[in-house]
Amino acid sequence: MNTDIGWQMWWQYAVTFAGSLIVALLSVWIAQSWSAKRERSKALGNLKSEVSANIRDCRLISEWLDKDFDALIKGEGALTPYPRIHDSAWYLVRSTFIGDYALVAKLEDAYRLIAVVNNLLQRIEELRYTHMNESGKGFTLEALEQAELEITEGMRTAALALSADRETAYRTNYTQHNAAAKGYTQKLLTLLEEVEPQVAQLCGSREDTSTAVLDKRLLKSKARLHIVLAAALFGALPFLTGGYQIALIVVVAILTFSSSVL
């Protein structure tokens, strides 16, 4: 008789455990599905804003690069902010939330082009400031005159030649970097203008391309442990009374929620 009652209690516990496990898994699935949709929506919004900002930056940079070397040395026109892709937007690019692999490939190409343009702009700035700082320094005619030395004709000729060589080297270097920067900036601008409407369409689409499945985070050991523990505790609910039941429900709710955010 006692054996039958014992088996009945264990069977009741097993059924309650299985039911609570299913409820816990569904709760995690709903929470993570909602979180994924919200994260995707936010990331797409960031990506759209960054693409638009990058297009504006490219146009400003193109205007800045159109200035000749003399205007640049005089400081006419400050360097515009470098184009960039926001971290959260770039996380989206590397994820499968977009679903359009051709678009992902274009965004990755744009990211690589941004790095190239940034490096070229930085090099141009270095050339500009180095040229400005070195003017009048070293074995140049201005330096010799400031030192109030007795300048021979040979010294004057050598100083002028050195100054001319430096100027030629800077201009040649600048011209090469400027041409490369213009080419890559135009290529980047064309790519971003092609991508912009596609990203905008994704933002305005009601169709959710994210797959409503259990997140990989659920496979982590801590999440599994929390779910099983919550189900095991919930299975004991019929055997408790009063305040113990309320306390158990609170503990199970905390464990279920924590498993969804691990």
Residue 113 has pLDDT above 80, yes or no: yes
Structure confidence at residue 126 (pLDDT): 77
Alpha helical stretches, state H, 66-152: 69-73, 87-93, 101-134, 141-146
Which DSSP state fits 205? Answer: -
What are the residue boundaries of the structural domains of the chain, listed by start?
53-210
Mean pLDDT of 64-68: 77
Structure confidence at residue 187 (pLDDT): 93
Chain-centroid distance of CA 179 in Å reads: 28
Instruction: Let me know how long the chain is.
Output: 262
Structure confidence at residue 191 (pLDDT): 92
Structure confidence at residue 123 (pLDDT): 83
Instruction: Name which of 137, 125, 190, 195 is nearest 162 in CA terms.
Output: 137
The SS3 of residue 148 is coil
Residue 250 has pLDDT above 80, yes or no: no
Mean pLDDT of 150-162: 58
What is the band of 163 on the pLDDT scale with cuts at 50, 70, 90? low
Alpha-carbon distance 84 to 68, whole Å? 25
What is the band of 102 on the pLDDT scale with cuts at 50, 70, 90? confident
Residue 62 has pLDDT above 70, yes or no: yes
- For the entire predicted model, the pTM comes to 0.57
